[in-house]
Structure formats: structure tokens, C-alpha cells
Amino acid sequence: MAVDATDPGEAALLRRGVVMVITRADRIGGAQVHVLLLARGLRQRGIPVTVATGRPGPFTAVLRRAGIPCHTLPSLVRPIRPLADLRALLELRRLLGRLQPALVAAHSTKATWLARLAAACLGIPCVVTVHGWPWETAPAAPRPALAGPLAAGNRDHDAASPIHGRPLEQRKAMASPGWAGPGRKPGWFHRRAAPWTPPRTPARTLRAAFTGSLARWGERLLGRLAAAVITVSRHDYREGLRRGVLDPRRAVVIPNGVPQPAAHRGRTRGTTGTEEPACADPVRIRRPGPGGSRRESWPGRHGDSSGPLRVVMVARFEPPKDHATLLQAVALLEHGRIRPRRRGAPAIQPAVPSPAPSAPIRPLPRDVPWVVELVGDGPTLPPATELARALGVSHRVRFLGARRDGAGAVRGAAVAVLCSHREGLPLVVLEAMAAGVPVVASAVGGVPEAVQHGTSGFLVPPGDPVALAHHLARLLANPALRQRMGAAARARYEARFTVDRMVDATLALYHQVCGSHWSRAPGARWPRWPGGYRGRGTGRRGATALR
């Protein structure tokens, strides 16, 4: 998309550039990859870009390797700390005063709050990108017993587990198969006993309620300071309207985009006719996990289809990602029911009720070789490995640790899985679609906007191992279905989720905001909310033009 240097606003954008602000640099998640891809795309189109982050980390190293100027704000941290937040605001204001950008683009909650305040002090327009609202939490649901053939061994299950409310070390001990303390039977094992599913104490509930209320209050208070708001999914757009923190007159949906896989470059091109840049370091750092080595290459990555069918999940090991549900689904595919390895122990129940499948889930035939690969690192990795051993599926699961090339993990896979409890518009789903891999994912956040159920993949309720196992079995046992859904996923990616589409739509919005702000007469007052933004003789110009 060309920049018209004769327009005052667009000339300012071309000359003074954009400063992007994001809170965390100690990890590389979806928001960080979005900033990296957007910064690269804008620089390719001639727009100078500088990125400001919190304390230095792997993301700052990635930015510097990509040749993108990066400044760190030592006081910018994720938790709410009034004194540190005030120092971060002053640091950001000094940085913006020195750089004098044409526009500030803010990502992540804390950064958007401080960037709006600092930009308003200097008279610089600020565009906010929402990668999911901070008050959204994992859905709570009852835990009824499984029905039918999966209920075998569930009779002795005690729903009122004595594990809740106990110290962490005691919960870890009680979660072990050999625990025989009060209220527990030898070999008893339960999913809720896992350290990554903390009990809901009153203090935790009050803290979550306070944090959510504070986030909504902050968005309502500071919403007037944003020139425009971008949401990466229609789900976030509707949630913002429902909560009263978005005004539809200057909010716009611009979906995430991901680069084309190397195997497809040259076949299709984006709207600008240029190949999309490769995404470096989409997953965090380099420490290998159990069962994987740093030098290990991806099976099937180079077109080798002689190995087993690969079911791949690329996600950090954190509570919202819910790896336990996938491990339970693997146990269903392997044994026909969810059961610990020790004989005579009661089965592990799912956290969310699941609809009965049209046919009983049967173990996959032995002549269908398959393996599950979990790519990522994080605090819930050790308990996940323990759960895999307890379920008797450790021979089916490979823990590969964090990898530099997360997108490469899904290439050549049979199925990509994401069973999170909450998401925005996850990049790993788009990367799988770009590689022509069918996706089985939880129907949360913006995932249903990418995955068409029954066409390019399957959607399942969050926390439902039965539905997940049912759809995995269908795909693993049917090569024609995998090929058909993979082609549909690739076509949907090319139509909606390329990097060029994301960058061009974002740049068009930046042009509108800068044109409205910088083209007004010298000394004129910037129109305030809700009047919109008016350039001389141009009429109203706002974010609604892109919706």
C-alpha cells in the first residue's frame, strides 16, 4: 500500500513514523509476534517503526536481530504497581517527547493505559490493539460423571475432594499415585489435584473480581483518549460493546495474519505482490523438554511421510491452555476410557460435561501409527508429564519443549490441536491453516472465526476430552477427510489471514487517524469524543470506514 507524501497526515507518518508499545519482552506470545510482523510490514512499506517494551528479554533480542529499533522501559511491568506505573508513564512520556512520532500504537493492557496517557499529554494520536480483554477468565462448569462405556471405574469417585484449600506442597503430595492419607485411597488420582488447577479460594475469587472490575473501569475511563481501537476478532469486538468499553464509531476488527509457509511461497502472493516475511521466534526460547532434544528436527518437516501421524499442539504450558484435556483425549484414543495406569484405580473425570458422541469412542486400530507432540514450555510442564504417565499414554506423547520455529512444528502434521479455555485469535491456529493442516480447537474467543466446523476443522467445547477424542479419531482414521479439510483451511487462510492483509488494513487505519489529526489548521483544537475526527474539507474520517 503506497503512502501519499502530499497528504500532511500521511507525510507525517512517513517522516516521523510509529512507536509501538507493548508491556512484556520476557516472553514471545501472540501479541509479541503480532507486533513483530506488523513492524516488519510497516518498515517494508517505508514507515519508520520503533518498539518500546518493558524489561529486556527474548523479544527485545528478536527485535534487534530483525533490525527494528527497540527501547526498554525498566518500570513497565505487568502487575498493577502504582509507583512503578507512574515511573513507567514518565519514562514513556520522555521517550515519546524525544522521538516525536506521528502515531503511537499500543498493545497489551498495561501498555495501552500508559500509552494513551503519555500520548494525550503530548498531543499525539494513539491507536490501541486489543489482543483479548483482561477480565475474560476460563469458564466455570459442573463436573458430572461420564455416561455409557466411559463411566467404568467412576463409581468410587468422591466429588468433594479433600485436596482443595490445602498448601501447594501438600496438594502435590496428595496428587501422587501412592498417597494414602486421610480421605484418599491408595492409588487415587484426580485431575483437579494437579498443581496447575488451583482451588477457588475466597481470596482468589475476590482478587479476580477486583482485577476484572479495575480493567473494565480503566478501559471506560481511558477509552476517550484512543483515536481508534483495533480488535483482532469479532468476539473481542462484541465483548467490548457488551461491556461498554468500545464505541462502534471508532472501533474496527482487523484479524491477525501469519506468514506463508516456505513450501507455499511463490505459489500465492499477498495483495502487495511481495512475499511475506518469515516469522522468527514465535515460541519462547530454547530449553528442550522431556523426550526432546534441541537438535531434533520435526518429523515430516521435509516431506517425509513414512513416520507416524502427528497430532501437534503448540502452546505454552499454562493453566488456560489446558493440556490435561488433550492428555485425557489421548487416553480415550489409546484405552477407550480415561483411566490411571494403576489397575483398580477410579477413572479421571473431565472438568466440563461433554455431549455423548454419535458412536462409542473405540481405541484407534494398532495398524494406525500416531503420536502426540506438545511444543512449548512453562510452569505446568512437570505436572503434565506426570499426568501422561498416570494415564498410561507416555509412549504416545512427546514433550518437545520450547522451539524457535513454532510454525514449523505444525508443517507436515496430520492434525493441529488447541484446547484452551480462552483465546483471542490464536496465531498457532492460523499457522496450521496456512500449512494446510486441519485444526481441532476449543470454540472460544475468535477461534470459530478462523476454523469452520466441519469444513476446515472441528470445534469442541472447552475442557471436553470426549468430543476432542471423537474428532481426533475421525481425522486420524480418514486420510481423505484430512486432505479435504486441510485444503479448505489453506484456502480460508489465503482469503482472510495473510500478513499483507493485516498490515494493509492497519496502515489504512493509521492513515485515517494521522490524516485527521495532523491535517487540521495550526492551533486548532483536536476534536474530542464523540465528535469524530475531521480534516479540512474531508468530512468525517474514522475507524468505521474499515468495518
pLDDT tens-digit readout, 276-316: 333 333 333 333 344 443 333 444 433 345 689 999 999 99
CB 196 within 8 A of CB 379: yes
Query: φ, ψ for residue 531 (rounded to 5)?
Result: -75, -10
Q: Are residues 314 and 356 in the same domain?
A: yes
Q: Are residues 425 and 462 in the same domain?
A: yes
- What percent of the chain lies above the pLDDT cut of 90? 48
* Cα 465 from chain centroid (whole Å): 21
Q: Are residues 523 and 486 in the same domain?
A: no
Domain-embedded: residue 409: yes
Overall average pLDDT of the 29-37 stretch? 92
Q: Are residues 492 and 513 in the same domain?
A: no
How many domains, in total, are found in the chain? 2
Helix, strand or coil for residue 214?
Answer: helix
Q: Are residues 516 and 457 in the same domain?
A: no
Residue-wise pLDDT for 249-280, tens only, equals 889 999 999 998 865 554 443 333 333 333 33
Strands 251-253, 228-231: parallel, antiparallel or unpaired by DSSP? parallel
- In this prediction, residue 358 carries a pLDDT of 43
What's the sign of the alpha-carbon dihedral 198, 200, 206, 208?
positive
- Model confidence at 388, pLDDT cuts 50, 70, 90, reads very high
Q: Are residues 393 and 537 in the same domain?
A: no
- Residue 83 lies in domain: 8-124+499-546
Q: Which of 496, 519, 535 is the last residue of a domain?
A: 496
**Residue 236 clears pLDDT 70, i.e. is over it:** yes
**Angle (nearest 5°) at CA 393 between 295 and 169:** 90
Overall average pLDDT of the 32-39 stretch? 95
Q: Are residues 380 and 504 in the same domain?
A: no
- In this prediction, residue 54 carries a pLDDT of 93
Residue-wise pLDDT for 520-535, tens only, equals 544 444 433 333 333 3
469 contact partners, CB below 8 Å, separation of at least 6: 328, 329, 330, 332, 333, 361
C-alpha–C-alpha distance, residues 352 and 466, integer Å: 10
Cell of 3: 503512502
Helix, strand or coil for residue 395?
Answer: coil
CATH number of the domain that residue 378 is part of: 3.40.50.2000
Q: Are residues 535 and 394 in the same domain?
A: no
- Model confidence at 368, pLDDT cuts 50, 70, 90, reads confident
Helix/strand/coil (H/E/C) assignment for every residue in 168-194: HHHHHHHHCCCCCCCCCCCCCCCHHHC
| Nearest CA among 529, 345, 372, 538 for reference residue 465 | 372
Residue-wise pLDDT for 399-412, tens only, equals 999 887 777 889 88
Q: Are residues 489 and 403 in the same domain?
A: yes
Domain-embedded: residue 140: no
Residue-wise pLDDT for 425-437, tens only, equals 999 999 999 999 9
- Model confidence at 2, pLDDT cuts 50, 70, 90, reads low
CATH number of the domain that residue 73 is part of: 3.40.50.80
Q: Are residues 328 and 433 in the same domain?
A: yes
Q: Are residues 322 and 469 in the same domain?
A: yes
Domain-embedded: residue 294: yes
CB 352 within 8 A of CB 290: no
Residue 81, CB half-sphere, CA atoms under 13 Å: how many? 9
Q: Which of 461, 481, 496 is the last residue of a domain?
A: 496
| Nearest CA among 509, 47, 438, 40 for reference residue 259 | 40
Q: Which helix (H) or strand (E) holds 311?
A: strand 309-314
End-to-end CA distance of the chain: 18
